[in-house]
Amino acid sequence: MTTGHDPASGQPRADAIVVGGGIAGLVVARDLGRAGRRVILLEGSPRLGGEVARHTVAGIDLDAGAESFATRDDTIQTLATQLGLGNEVVAPDPRGAWVVEADGHAFPLPKTGLLGIPGTAMAKDVIDVIGTGAALRAEVDSLLPGFVGAKEQKLGPLVRRRMGSAVLDRLVAPVVMGVHSAHPDVLDVDRVAPGLRGALLQQNSLARAVRHLREMAPGGSAVGGIRGGMVRLVDELEADLVTFGVDVRLETQVRSYDETSVTLADGSRLGASAVVIALGARDSARLDGTLGAQDPTTGLITLATLVVDDHALDAGPRGTGVLIARTGSPDVVGIRAKALTHATIKWAWLAERTDGRHVLRLSYDSPVVDRSTSDAELAGIATEDASRILGMPLAEASVEGFGRVEWDAPYRPPSGAASTSATGVIRVGGAIAGRGLSGVVKDARAKAAALLDPGAA
Ligand SMILES: Cc1cc2nc3c(=O)[nH]c(=O)nc-3n(C[C@H](O)[C@H](O)[C@H](O)COP(=O)(O)OP(=O)(O)OC[C@H]3O[C@@H](n4cnc5c(N)ncnc54)[C@H](O)[C@@H]3O)c2cc1C
């Protein structure tokens, strides 16, 4: 990076302008600021953190967005340690999640899987769900050479070829749709399960590849959390930005950019030696003008959080939460939610802070729930859904708190959609690294390191 003066303002030129104060932008700004670079971070909204945020329901502080991270590598553990949160990283309750199918049948998700792909096809918890015949079909995976399916770009066809449709429809699709709001048939394997195709070739079996990736994950659990919520990462990153003298500007929307400058919504320009665009896919397309107004994939995710005072929930009737399997039938015994997290079972630290009350977080895709759904309606829908999903009636009087949060649904640009933006701009964030904190942070830190030491890249 070179320095000098900004011709527009006459001020010393920043080394880098980071556009977007989500986790990706925060991490890049911190790593550059820590190395002594002059950094300006521009965030369009009034707060930092993006999809990592906090809300308070019935006096309880909760994650409003991301509430866990993938432990397939030590990216987040390392970041947390560097931020002084190393001892605050926790594993979820081992009871695991359940699935509810169209006919109301509920079963625990097999324990040793990855995105629902079983690590052992003939395990009892797999046979219990898909039956012996389908498990035997899945076991064929262990006899096929590794290259079968390894060239498939999408997760659905890969699983179908190796393990058959029952594994895909009944185990993988519910998990993947819950996490990514999209069917495995349209999701890139390398984005949602990095390393899986390589491990398949190496291990000559998808099940063995899954076991291998799980063994590589520190702690053995597929996800981890942070005592107090993932949002503590944002708090600590924000504190570091102050320490390292990063110039953070909230409510500063960037309208356009090139490799050495950005233009703000008020028409003013800022220059820097490097411009880093740290946005999710939708924001990035919006900034580049490639987001069609009528794009059918735009949508809304609504989270409804209930704080419930009912000791019948203490036993955790459906483990840490439930994914609703809609494959083949959009109607699942009247349940409208796509997933429920029993947060006070999943996270022991949270249960310690709620005076025995339970926190249930239900998620909804539009148009099932959208902005026309009133809070009162949503609270009613969520209470009814929670009763059906948990298999026990919740009295309305037991619901002590209700919270609502809305997020843009994950956006996948139409294939072939080209970025209209300048070359030479550094790109991080969900638009490049996909959905999920581990991948986003890993990519952001690698790009920050490359900026600091271009020779090493
Ligand atoms: C409800 C929900 C639950 C999730 N759960 C998990 C989970 O449990 N585990 C997990 O790993 N991941 C989870 N994720 C995904 C994860 O949160 C994201 O992948 C990650 O936070 C994205 O970070 P980012 O920095 O790329 O983008 P964002 O968080 O979207 O940040 C981008 C920032 O840029 C700002 N911005 C946008 N346009 C402009 C502009 N033109 N000028 C200036 N600023 C702009 C935005 O206001 C925003 O603050 C979840 C996401 C959601 C929504």
DSSP readout, 23-72?
HHHHHHHHHHHHTT--EEEE-SSSSSBTTS-EEEETTEEEESS---EE-S
Neighbouring CB atoms inside 10 A of 134's CB total 21
Q: How do residues 280-291 score in pLDDT, each as one tens digit?
A: 999 999 999 887
Question: CATH homologous superfamily of domain 14-52+229-294+413-456?
Answer: FAD/NAD(P)-binding domain (3.50.50.60)
Centroid of ligand 1 to alpha carbon of 157 (angstroms): 28
Q: How do residues 241-258 score in pLDDT, each as one tens digit?
A: 999 999 999 999 999 999
Q: How do residues 130-169 score in pLDDT, each as one tens digit?
A: 999 999 999 999 999 999 999 999 999 999 999 999 999 9
Question: Is the beta carbon of 45 within 6 A of some atom in ligand 1?
Answer: yes
Question: Is the beta carbon of 22 within 6 A of some atom in ligand 1?
Answer: yes
Q: What is the Cα gyration radius of the chain? A: 23
> Between β-strands 39-42 and 14-19, what pairing exists: parallel, antiparallel or unpaired?
parallel
Could you tell me which residue, 194 or 269, shows the higher pLDDT? 269
Question: Is the beta carbon of 51 within 6 A of some atom in ligand 1?
Answer: yes
For tokens 């009247």, the residue is 334
What is the average per-residue pLDDT within 341-350? 98
Centroid of ligand 1 to alpha carbon of 43 (angstroms): 12
Question: Is the beta carbon of 361 within 6 A of some atom in ligand 1?
Answer: no
Contact 19, 226 (CB under 8 A): no
pLDDT-derived band at 122 (thresholds 50, 70, 90) equals very high
Which residue spans of the chain are classified as CATH 3.90.660.20?
299-408
- Give the residues across from 225 on adjacent strands: 90
Centroid of ligand 1 to alpha carbon of 171 (angstroms): 27
Which residue spans of the chain are classified as CATH 3.50.50.60?
14-52+229-294+413-456
With b for 16 or more beta-carbon neighbours within 10 A and e for fewer, the 31-53 pattern comes to bbbbbebbbbbbbbeeebbbbbb
Mean pLDDT value across the chain: 91
Question: Is the beta carbon of 69 within 6 A of some atom in ligand 1?
Answer: yes
With b for 16 or more beta-carbon neighbours within 10 A and e for fewer, the 201-220 pattern comes to eebbbbbbbbbbbbeebeee
Tell me which residue has its CA closest to atom 50 in ligand 1: 66
Tokens representing 291 are: 């987001």
**Cis-peptide into 367, omega within 30 deg:** yes
pLDDT-derived band at 73 (thresholds 50, 70, 90) equals confident
Closest ligand 1 atom, CA of 69? 11
Centroid of ligand 1 to alpha carbon of 427 (angstroms): 14
Tokens representing 200 are: 């398949």
Q: Which of 375, 380, 306 shows the shortest CA–CA distance to 336?
A: 380
How many angstroms separate the CA atoms of 423 and 383, rounded?
50
Which class would CATH give 113-205?
Answer: mainly alpha
Closest ligand 1 atom, CA of 408? 53
Which residue spans of the chain are classified as CATH 1.10.3110.10?
113-205
Neighbouring CB atoms inside 10 A of 97's CB total 23
pLDDT-derived band at 353 (thresholds 50, 70, 90) equals very high
pTM for this prediction:
0.90
pLDDT of 273 higher than 70? yes
Backbone angles phi, psi at 286, to 5 degrees: -65, -45
Which of 283, 411, 447 has most ligand 1 atoms within 8 Å of its beta carbon, as the pocket-test mutant? 283
Question: Is the beta carbon of 448 within 6 A of some atom in ligand 1?
Answer: no
Topology given in CATH for the domain delimited by 299-408: Polyamine Oxidase; Chain A, domain 2 (3.90.660)
Question: Is the beta carbon of 32 within 6 A of some atom in ligand 1?
Answer: no
Q: Report pLDDT for 7.
A: 61
Contact 394, 310 (CB under 8 A): yes
Closest ligand 1 atom, CA of 430? 26
Neighbouring CB atoms inside 10 A of 364's CB total 23
**Complete edge-to-edge strand list for the sheet that includes strand 339-342:** 106-108, 97-100, 321-324, 339-342, 358-365, 300-308, 399-408
pLDDT of 299 higher than 60? yes
pLDDT of 75 higher than 70? yes
